[in-house]
Amino acid sequence: MDPVKTLGSDPAKNAAAAPVRARRPRGLVPEIVASIEADIREGRLQPGQKLPTESELVARFEVSRTVVREAISRLQASGLVETRHGIGTFAKEATDPSLFRLTAADLPTVDDVVALLELRISLETEAAGLAAQRREESHLQAMAKALASFESALNAQSDAIPSDFQFHMEVAMATGNRYFADLMNHLGTVIIPRTRVNTPNSASEGRDAYLRRVHAEHENIYSAIRAHDAEGARAAMRTHLSNSRERLRRSQAVSAGEMTG
């Protein structure tokens, strides 16, 4: 059995650890996230302790900088780390596991992911309308930054999950009602369907076209919010999430056909 990889407090020792085992490319980001999350929850990384640098993590896990950055983004979205620009990334206190939070284990089937999308349609459609009515310039800037990050992730052949989640979080923040953002934060990045189902790779139009269509739907939501068009924002969000649900169902049908074919 491979030795358990932990970060601890000595980055130099971490970087010199035994080579990691061969992994599928799609498993790289979740593996890094799980490793760092375990170090935080089990106390090997204390709240306020600085994580190894990006270069050290690249060497530690033998991955690209893009993979490390995506893993850190997911940890930020889950509230386990915070990045202080120009200083570094620091561990935060682990969330009380008794608090409500979705994990991958809570969504074992495609039907569960579809059910979660139905919840999101009711929640985020109204959030988009409120955001259009109440948004400030700072909210628009944050949404635009998330959209730019999504575009950069596409160009880097990444799955763009952190920036996808961040865009939806920024819409929730723009409502001016903290409970929308609190609920989104508790749900976490697992609300993005492709964390559970590989919908881009099974899409008939191809992975890149699939993700660019998702990006275009985000831009439609942003445009309506920027224009103070509440009804347009609601419609754009409902269309986006309903499309996600249908794409997921089509992906499920394709997978079922491959199994029986």
Query: Residue 132 — pLDDT band, cuts 50, 70, 90?
Result: very high
Spatial contact of 88 and 53, defined as CB atoms under 8 Å apart: yes
Average pLDDT over residues 15-20: 40
The verdict on 58 and 177 lying in the same domain is no
What CATH number did the domain enclosing 160 receive?
A: 1.20.120.530
Q: What is the number of structural domains in the chain? A: 2
More confident residue, 157 or 109: 157
Q: Which of 5, 21, 1 is nearest to 13 (CA)?
A: 5
Task: Give the pLDDT band of residue 225 (cuts 50, 70, 90).
Answer: very high
What local confidence, expressed as pLDDT, does residue 37 receive?
86
Residue 211 CA to residue 206 CA, distance in Å, equals: 9
Q: Residue 103: CB partners within 8 Å, gap ≥ 6?
A: 188, 190
Q: What is the spatial distance between Cα 211 and Cα 147, in angstroms, rounded to a whole number?
A: 12
Looking at mean pLDDT, say which of 60-74, 96-110, 216-230 comes out highest. 216-230
Q: What is the pLDDT of residue 15?
A: 39
My answer on whether 133 and 247 are in the same domain is: yes
More confident residue, 194 or 22: 194
DSSP 200: H
Q: Determine, yes or no, domain membership for 186.
A: yes
More confident site: 213 or 23? 213
Domain end call among 91, 112, 128: 91
Residue-level pLDDT at 174: 96
The chain-wide mean pLDDT, for the chain, equals 80
Per-residue pLDDT tens over the stretch 72-130: 888 886 778 888 877 889 998 765 544 445 555 555 466 777 888 898 999 999 999 99
> What dihedral angle (degrees, nearest 10) is formed by the CA atoms of 75, 81, 83, 87?
-130
Residues 68 and 167 in one domain: no
Structural domain contains residue 45? yes
- Domain of residue 206, residue span: 104-260
Are 85 and 160 within one domain?
A: no
CA–CA gap between residue 5 and residue 21 (Å, rounded): 11
Burial class (CB in 10 A: 0-12, 13-18, 19+), 258: exposed
Same domain for 157 and 227, yes or no, is yes
**What is the reported pTM?**
0.61
**Residue 169 above 60 pLDDT?**
yes
Domain annotation covers residue 210: yes
| 46 lies in some domain | yes
**Does 115 share its domain with 57?**
no
Q: pLDDT tier at 212 (50, 70, 90 boundaries)?
A: very high
> How far is Cα 179 from Cα 185, in angstroms, rounded to an integer?
10
Identify whether residues 108 and 137 lie together within a single domain: yes
74 and 133 assigned to the same domain? no
Which CA distances in Å does 51 have to 24, 46, 68, 82, 235? 25, 10, 12, 10, 42
Q: In the chain, which ranges are continuous DSSP H helix? A: 11-15, 28-41, 54-61, 65-77, 110-134, 137-155, 161-174, 178-187, 199-202, 207-226, 230-260
Q: For residue 212, tell me if it sits in a domain.
A: yes
Q: What is the pLDDT of residue 52?
A: 93
Q: Residue type at 107?
A: L
Q: Which residue, of 67, 91, 115, is where some domain finishes?
A: 91
Burial class of residue 69 (count of CB atoms within 10 Å of its CB; 0-12, 13-18, 19+):
buried
Q: What is the pLDDT of residue 190?
A: 75
Identify whether residues 133 and 155 lie together within a single domain: yes
CA distances from 44 to 28, 74, 89, 219 (A): 21, 19, 15, 41
Residues 201 and 120 in one domain: yes
| Statement to judge: residues 85 and 115 lie in one domain | no
**Residue 21 pLDDT class (50, 70, 90 cuts):** very low
Instruction: Report pLDDT for 216.
Output: 97
Reply yes or no on whether the pLDDT at 233 is more than 90.
Answer: yes
Domain assignment present for residue 53? The answer is yes
Q: What is the CATH number of the domain that holds 71?
A: 1.10.10.10
Last residue of a domain, one of 38, 68, 91: 91
Q: What does the pLDDT read at residue 238?
A: 97
Nearest-angstrom CA–CA distance, 178 and 64 = 36
Flag whether 70 is in a domain.
Answer: yes
Least confident of 30-34, 65-69, 109-113, 172-176: 109-113
Residue 117: which of 246, 255, 253 has the closest Cα?
A: 246
Question: Do 26 and 116 share a structural domain?
Answer: no
Residue with tokens 């979705």: 102
